[in-house]
C-alpha cells in the first residue's frame, strides 16, 4: 500500500488501446493507416483547387481525413503514453520511435491538404457559409486566415532548410550551453556543484539562504556567457523581422494571433488591462513580504513558499476525494468525467524511475476518454496539479462527445478553461475546509503566486519581446547590454519597486528556452489570456451560481469549433473589451483581499 491506496490504483491501465507495446495489432493498425493515407493522397492531391471540387467534395475529404487521424490518434497516444510511463524500457522506446516516424511520414504526405484547401476557400469565400460544411466552418476559417501569409512551396522549403541550421541551431546552442554549465550553490549550508536543472529546482526551496545562493549562482553565470545568449537571441529576433516582412504580416505578433485564433484588439485590451493592474500584483507581493516577516521581498522570495506553511502530507486517496468533492460542488455530471478517470485507472500517479517529468493529460478521441500522468508527491502543489489535469479530462469529455475530431481540440487560450476552473473550485473547497489561519494563507499564497506568474511575470516577457522587435525596426543593435535594458524595463513595469533585485538578474530572460525556439514567437501572451479568461468566467459563476453551469458546459463542448471571442460571447461578454479582462483581475483582487484579512 502506498499513499493509502492499492499500488495498482496509482498505475494507469492502457489496455483499452492496445494490450502491450508488443501487441501485433499495433503494426496491423499502422499498415492500415499507411494504406488509407496512400489512397487519400492519390484521390485528392493536386485536385482540391479545381472547379469540380465543391462543398460536397470538401466534406467527404475532411471526413476521410478525420478517419485517418482518429485511427492514428490511438496508435500515437499509446506510443507516447507507454514511453512517458517508463522511458528506460526498450520496448517502450521502440514503440515511441516507430510512432514518431510514422507520424512524420504521414503528416508530410498530408501537408498538401491544409495548403490546397486553405487556398480553395480563400479564393471561394462563399464555401465558408455553405450549409453542407456547417460543422467545419471555423476549421476552414482558421485555414483561410493563414493563406495570405503563405509563400510558394519552394520558398517554404527553403525556410525550413535555413531554420535547421539557423534558429534551430541557435536554440540548440542555448539549451546545450545552459545545460552543461556548472553552478556552485550552498544548499542548506553545504557547498555543492550542480547542473542547471539541479540548481533551477532550488529556486523555490523553503530555505531562504539556499534560494538566494541558487539565484546568485545561476544568474551571475548567465552574464558571464553574455556573448552566447545575446548573439543567439539577436539573430533569432532579427530573422523573425525578416520573415514578418516576407510573409506580409502587419505586426510581429500577427502569426501568434492567427495561431491562437484571436484578434489584435483582444490582445491589445488584454495587455492594457494587465498594465493597469500591476499595482494589484505589487500589493500582493507587499502582503507576502509581511507574511514572510520581511521589509521587502527579494527576487528569490517571489515564488517561495510561506515559511509557516503547514507541512502536512496529503495522500493520493485524500487528494482524489477532495478533487471529486470540488468538482461535484459545481455539478454532478461535471464531476462524472473525473470519477471515471479513477474508476478506469486512467491516471498514472506513481513516482518511478524513468518516468517523464511533470504532468499532462492526454486525450484519446476514439475511446472518448483521457489519460493523466503525474508523479504524485503528496504536497498541496500536487493536489492542485491533479485537479488541473482532471480539468483537461473534463474538457475532453465534453468536446469529444460534442465535436468531430477536427474540432475536438482547442487552441491554447481555451484549452486551459476547465483546468484552471478546476483549480478555482479546489481553492474554494480547501479554503472552506482549512482550520487554521496558516493553512488559509498557504492556499491563497499558492494560488496568487501561480496566477501572479502567469498573468504578470509572463506579461513582462511579452513586453520584452515587443521592445526587441521595435528596436530592430529602429535599426538598433541588440547587444547583451541593450537586451538587458529591455528586459528590465518590461520587468520593472510589472514589479515597480515591490521587489529587491540584484544586478545580474537583468540576465533573467536568457534562460527562457521559448525565446530561442523556432516558430515560437510570442509564446507568452496565451498564458496571460488563458489565466485571466478563466478567472473572468469564474467571477461570472460566482455571480450567477448554478445558472452558469450550462454556459460552461457549452463552452467546453464547443472544443475548437469556435474562436475564443465567440466562446466568451456565450457567457454574455465581449472578449475584445477591457471590461471582460477586468473581471479576471477582480478575482485576483478578491483573493488578495482575503489574504490581507488574514495577516
Reduce the DSSP state of residue 272 to 3 states and report it: helix
Which triple of cell numbers denotes residue 335?
464531476
Question: Cα–Cα distances in Å, from 296 out to 220, 291, 299, 366?
Answer: 22, 11, 10, 53
Name the nearest CA neighbour of 564 among 337, 360, 330, 258.
258
Longest C-alpha distance within the chain, in Å?
A: 76
Q: Give the contact letters, 200-229, x = binds to Zn ion (CB under 5 A), - = no.
A: ------------------------------
For the CB of residue 416, give the shortest distance to Zn ion in the complex, in Å. 5
CB-nearer residue toward Zn ion: 457 or 576: 457
CB-nearer residue toward Zn ion: 287 or 451: 451
Q: Are the C-beta atoms of residues 145 and 411 closer than 8 Å to each other?
A: no
For the CB of residue 82, give the shortest distance to Zn ion in the complex, in Å. 22
For the CB of residue 532, give the shortest distance to Zn ion in the complex, in Å. 15
What residues numbered 364-383 form the site for Zn ion, per CB under 5 A?
none
Name the nearest CA neighbour of 203 among 88, 276, 282, 300.
300
For the CB of residue 546, give the shortest distance to Zn ion in the complex, in Å. 26
CB-nearer residue toward Zn ion: 287 or 455: 455
CA atoms 114, 117, 122, 127: torsion sign: negative
For the CB of residue 527, give the shortest distance to Zn ion in the complex, in Å. 10
Which triple of cell numbers denotes residue 357?
517529468
Interface with Zn ion: number of residues (CB under 5 A): 1
Stretch that binds Zn ion, among 85-93, 247-255, 292-300, 415-423 (CB under 5 A): 415-423
Reduce the DSSP state of residue 480 to 3 states and report it: helix
CB-nearer residue toward Zn ion: 213 or 419: 419
Q: How many other CB atoms are found less than 10 A from the CB of residue 464?
A: 23
Stretch that binds Zn ion, among 113-121, 206-214, 400-408, 419-427 (CB under 5 A): 419-427
Stretch that binds Zn ion, among 59-67, 266-274, 417-425, 591-599 (CB under 5 A): 417-425
Q: Give the contact letters, 485-504, x = binds to Zn ion (CB under 5 A), - = no.
A: --------------------
For the CB of residue 517, give the shortest distance to Zn ion in the complex, in Å. 19
CA atoms 462, 467, 468, 470: torsion sign: positive
Stretch that binds Zn ion, among 228-236, 254-262, 271-279, 413-421 (CB under 5 A): 413-421
CB-nearer residue toward Zn ion: 202 or 337: 337
Stretch that binds Zn ion, among 109-117, 198-206, 336-344, 416-424 (CB under 5 A): 416-424
Q: How far is CA 336 from the centre of its chain?
A: 25
Q: Are the C-beta atoms of residues 354 and 347 closer than 8 Å to each other?
A: no
- Give the list of residues 6+ apart from residue 204 with CB closer than 8 angstroms, or none: 211, 303, 304, 305
For the CB of residue 366, give the shortest distance to Zn ion in the complex, in Å. 22
Pairing of strands 297-298, 499-500: parallel
CB-nearer residue toward Zn ion: 174 or 419: 419
For the CB of residue 458, give the shortest distance to Zn ion in the complex, in Å. 14
Backbone angles phi, psi at 192, to 5 degrees: -135, 145
CB-nearer residue toward Zn ion: 391 or 490: 391
For the CB of residue 388, give the shortest distance to Zn ion in the complex, in Å. 6
Q: Is residue 531 close enough to count as binding Zn ion by CB under 5 A?
A: no
Backbone angles phi, psi at 223, to 5 degrees: -60, -35
Q: How many other CB atoms are found less than 10 A from the CB of residue 468?
A: 27
Q: Give the contact letters, 133-152, x = binds to Zn ion (CB under 5 A), - = no.
A: --------------------
Residue nearest to Zn ion (CB): 419
For the CB of residue 369, give the shortest distance to Zn ion in the complex, in Å. 17
Q: Is residue 419 close enough to count as binding Zn ion by CB under 5 A?
A: yes
**H-helix or E-strand spanning residue 190:** strand 190-195
CB-nearer residue toward Zn ion: 419 or 427: 419
**H-helix or E-strand spanning residue 89:** none
For the CB of residue 281, give the shortest distance to Zn ion in the complex, in Å. 22
For the CB of residue 375, give the shortest distance to Zn ion in the complex, in Å. 16
CB-nearer residue toward Zn ion: 92 or 319: 319
Q: How many other CB atoms are found less than 10 A from the CB of residue 226?
A: 16
SS (H, E, C) 197-252: HHHHCCCCCCCHHHHHHHHHHHHHHHHHCHHHHHHHHHHHHHHHHHHHHHCCCCCC
Q: Is residue 393 close enough to count as binding Zn ion by CB under 5 A?
A: no
Stretch that binds Zn ion, among 240-248, 294-302, 412-420, 467-475 (CB under 5 A): 412-420
Q: Give the interface with Zn ion as residue ranges (CB under 5 A).
A: 419
Amino acid at each position: 500500500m502506498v499513499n493509502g491506496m492499492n499500488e495498482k490504483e496509482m498505475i494507469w491501465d492502457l489496455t483499452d488501446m492496445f494490450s502491450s507495446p508488443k501487441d501485433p495489432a499495433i503494426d496491423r493498425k499502422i499498415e492500415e493507416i499507411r494504406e488509407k493515407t496512400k489512397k487519400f493522397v492519390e484521390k485528392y492531391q493536386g485536385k482540391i483547387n479545381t472547379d469540380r471540387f465543391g462543398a460536397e467534395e470538401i466534406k467527404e475529404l475532411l471526413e476521410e481525413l478525420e478517419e485517418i487521424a482518429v485511427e492514428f490518434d490511438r496508435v500515437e497516444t499509446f506510443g507516447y503514453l507507454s514511453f512517458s510511463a517508463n522511458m528506460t524500457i526498450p520496448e517502450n522506446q521502440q514503440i515511441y520511435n516507430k510512432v514518431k516516424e510514422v507520424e512524420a511520414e504521414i503528416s508530410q504526405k498530408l501537408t498538401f491538404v491544409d495548403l490546397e484547401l486553405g487556398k480553395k476557400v480563400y479564393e471561394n469565400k462563399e464555401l465558408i457559409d455553405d450549409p453542407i460544411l456547417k460543422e467545419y466552418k471555423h476549421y476552414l476559417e482558421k485555414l483561410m486566415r493563414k493563406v495570405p501569409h503563405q509563400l510558394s512551396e519552394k520558398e517554404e522549403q527553403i525556410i525550413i532548410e535555413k531554420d535547421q541550421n539557423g534558429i534551430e541551431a541557435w536554440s540548440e546552442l542555448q539549451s546545450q550551453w545552459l545545460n552543461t554549465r556548472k553552478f556552485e550553490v550552498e544548499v542548506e549550508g553545504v557547498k555543492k556543484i550542480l547542473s542547471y536543472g539541479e540548481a533551477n529546482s532550488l529556486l523555490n526551496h523553503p530555505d531562504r539562504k539556499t534560494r538566494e545562493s541558487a539565484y546568485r549562482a545561476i544568474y551571475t553565470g548567465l552574464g558571464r556567457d553574455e556573448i552566447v545568449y545575446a548573439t543567439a537571441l539577436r539573430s533569432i529576433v532579427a530573422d523573425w523581422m525578416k520573415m514578418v516582412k516576407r510573409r506580409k504580416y502587419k505586426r510581429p505578433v500577427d502569426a501568434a494571433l492567427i495561431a491562437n485564433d484571436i484578434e489584435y484588439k483582444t490582445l491589445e485590451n488584454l495587455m492594457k488591462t494587465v498594465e493597469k493592474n500591476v499595482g494589484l500584483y505589487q500589493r500582493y507581493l507587499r502582503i507576502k513580504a509581511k507574511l514572510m516577516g520581511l521589509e521587502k521581498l527579494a527576487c528569490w522570495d517571489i515564488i517561495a513558499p510561506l515559511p509557516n506553511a503547514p507541512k502536512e502530507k496529503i495522500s493520493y486517496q485524500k487528494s482524489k476525494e477532495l478533487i471529486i468533492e470540488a468538482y461535484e460542488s459545481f455539478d454532478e455530471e461535471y464531476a462524472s468525467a473525473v470519477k471515471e478517470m479513477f474508476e478506469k485507472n486512467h491516471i498514472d500517479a506513481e513516482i518511478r524511475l524513468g518516468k517523464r517529468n511533470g504532468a499532462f493529460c492526454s486525450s484519446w478521441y476514439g475511446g472518448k476518454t483521457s489519460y493523466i500522468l503525474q508523479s504524485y508527491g503528496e504536497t498541496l502543489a500536487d493536489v492542485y496539479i491533479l485537479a488541473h489535469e482532471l480539468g483537461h479530462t473534463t474538457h475532453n469529455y465534453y468536446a469529444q462527445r460534442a465535436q468531430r475530431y477536427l474540432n475536438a481540440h482547442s487552441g491554447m487560450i481555451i484549452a486551459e478553461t476547465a483546468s484552471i476552473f478546476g483549480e478555482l473550485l479546489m481553492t474554494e473547497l480547501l479554503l472552506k475546509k482549512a482550520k487554521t489561519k496558516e493553512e488559509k494563507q498557504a492556499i491563497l499564497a499558492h494560488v496568487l503566486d501561480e496566477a501572479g506568474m502567469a498573468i504578470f511575470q509572463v506579461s513582462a516577457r511579452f513586453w520584452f519581446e515587443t521592445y526587441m522587435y521595435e528596436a530592430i525596426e529602429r535599426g538598433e543593435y541588440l547587444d547583451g547590454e541593450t537586451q538587458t535594458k529591455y528586459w528590465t524595463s518590461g520587468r520593472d513595469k510589472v514589479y515597480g519597486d515591490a521587489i529587491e533585485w540584484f544586478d545580474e538578474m537583468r540576465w533573467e530572460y536568457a534562460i527562457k528556452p521559448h525565446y530561442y525556439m523556432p516558430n515560437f514567437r510570442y509564446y507568452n501572451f496565451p498564458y496571460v489570456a488563458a489565466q485571466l479568461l478563466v478567472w473572468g468566467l469564474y467571477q461570472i459563476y460566482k455571480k450567477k451560481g448554478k445558472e452558469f453551469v450550462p454556459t460552461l458546459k457549452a463552452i467546453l463542448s464547443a472544443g475548437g469549433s469556435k474562436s475564443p471571442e465567440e466562446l466568451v460571447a456565450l457567457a454574455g461578454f465581449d472578449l475584445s473589451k477591457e471590461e471582460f479582462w477586468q473581471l479576471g483581475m477582480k478575482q485576483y483582487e478578491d483573493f488578495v483581499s482575503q489574504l490581507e484579512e488574514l495577516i
